[in-house]
Amino acid sequence: MNRVAVTGLGLVCASGNNVAECWPLIERGESRIRRLADPGNPPYRFSYGAEALGFRPEDHFEEKDLLFLERFALLAAVAAREAVAQSGISFKGELADRSGVITGTSVGGQFSEEQGYIRLYRENNPRVAPLTIPRTMSNAGASRISLEFGIRGPSYTVSTACSSSNHSIGQAFWMVRNGQLTAAVAGGSEAVFAEGLLRAWEAMRVVSPEPCKPFSPDRRGLSLGEGAGMLVLEDWEHARARGARILGEIAGFGMSSDAHHITQPCVEGPANAMNWALRDAGLLPGAIDYINAHGTGTPANDTTESQAIRAVFGPKTDTLPVSSTKSVHGHTLGAAGAIEAVVTLLALQHGVAPPTANITSIDPACPIRVVFTEPLHAALETAISNTFAFGGLNASLVMRRFGS
């Protein structure tokens, strides 16, 4: 089987419009969960979110493109541009047919759908916008990336709620490792700040009224965010032959289903995903130096994930650094795994575990070593990044620092 190199990273979120803008804030735990630009009318039960306020689509796209693409697809394309540019890869000739695009999103194009419902049910107007379908389809980001770079191999979108983009990266990783693809653009995107979707999350009563505090004893729920993360994955030997700079390596992928409850997590499912990822990478638990946790800030998730980590890592849990960067960039739903995969690779590159923001102590019900207050500088060689979704769908990625 082929080793799989990461040769490009792209990131857009509340922390900034590219990796260079985002990483310093994430590294030092500077939260970008702020008061919502539109608090709702009547006001939502929560007033904070991680909006990508610096992202202006008109700075990146012509007007005709904006007619066809929703915000989540625009975010995906911009993150992909950064990743491809850093990689220096050119999808020409045979490589175009041997490359793919696999993206993840949970909710797709919410704004066009919402506008259509307003016209139908509020304005009694039976005519909705003619481009509603291409704007709302969940594969719009993957299709745009494929079109923009001339990628003619497998291109599709995975939708598994908050595990969507970990599943997409894992699928791309397996396809490159098995020789089905030479290269892939993989990741995910999400744009959640549409009123209807916010009202739906409000009704769930899992969104915190203040910036989220993962693993804190006084945590009150998650904070929603938007953004995109993209990676260029490449056959190791192909990357070396063309002189690409290798940023890191995807080493293993594991996924599982709880088969337990549609919204309530259990310990066994997340533990299985981490164990399968380790086996896929050919590693023992002792090889892991850092965990980027799913860490949503809900009472149920954080306790369950902590127990799952201890079930997998045993006594090493006491010294294994864990952090949730959702406390900085918010919970970006289907984009979470991709954004956090980028962050995890950067953590390995820089030898630093970013701190979990907004907290001053750790819940005794979460018996893990949570990094908070200050970043932890250490020799980090190998890491796991977790995502766990409603429906009991779990996905974990194992990544290595280049040179490990």
What does the pLDDT average to over 198-207? 97
Give the Cα separation of 288 and 313 in Å (integer).
9
167 tagged catalytic: no
The CATH architecture that domain 4-241 belongs to is 3-Layer(aba) Sandwich (3.40)
Domains 4-241 and 252-401 share a fold: yes
331 tagged catalytic: yes
What does the pLDDT average to over 171-200? 98
pLDDT tens track for 236-278: 999 999 999 999 999 999 999 999 999 999 999 999 999 999 9
Q: Name the catalytic one among 22, 162, 266, 366.
A: 162
Report in angstroms the alpha-carbon separations of 385 from 99, 170, 317, 347: 24, 11, 15, 11
Give the Cα separation of 205 and 28 in Å (integer).
30
Return the domain boundaries, the chain.
Answer: 4-241, 252-401
Q: Name the catalytic one among 13, 329, 331, 366.
A: 331
What does the pLDDT average to over 139-145? 98
Q: Please give the DSSP secondary-structure letter assigned to residue 245.
A: P
Partners of residue 104 on adjacent β-strands: 158, 188
pTM above 0.75, yes or no: yes
Residue 31 has pLDDT above 70, yes or no: yes
Q: Are strands 99-104 and 183-190 parallel, antiparallel or unpaired?
A: parallel
What confidence score (pLDDT) does residue 404 get?
55
Q: Report the interhelical angle of 110-117 vs 195-204 (nearest 10°).
A: 100
What does the pLDDT average to over 196-221? 97
What confidence score (pLDDT) does residue 48 get?
98
Mean pLDDT of the chain: 97
CB 75 within 8 A of CB 53: no
CB 208 within 8 A of CB 222: yes
Partners of residue 148 on adjacent β-strands: none
What confidence score (pLDDT) does residue 403 get?
73
What does the pLDDT average to over 123-129? 93
162 tagged catalytic: yes
What does the pLDDT average to over 323-348? 98
What does the pLDDT average to over 297-305? 97
Q: What are phi and psi of 151, to 5 degrees?
A: -85, 120
What does the pLDDT average to over 189-218? 97
CB 80 within 8 A of CB 145: yes
Give the Cα separation of 35 and 336 in Å (integer).
20
**Taking the CB of residue 205, how many other CB atoms lie within 10 A of it?**
9
Question: What percent of the chain is modeled with pLDDT above 70?
Answer: 100
CATH topology of domain 252-401: Peroxisomal Thiolase; Chain A, domain 1 (3.40.47)
CB 195 within 8 A of CB 114: yes
Residue 148 has pLDDT above 90, yes or no: yes
What does the pLDDT average to over 132-145? 97
Q: Name the catalytic one among 212, 238, 266, 294.
A: 294
Give the Cα separation of 343 and 385 in Å (integer).
9
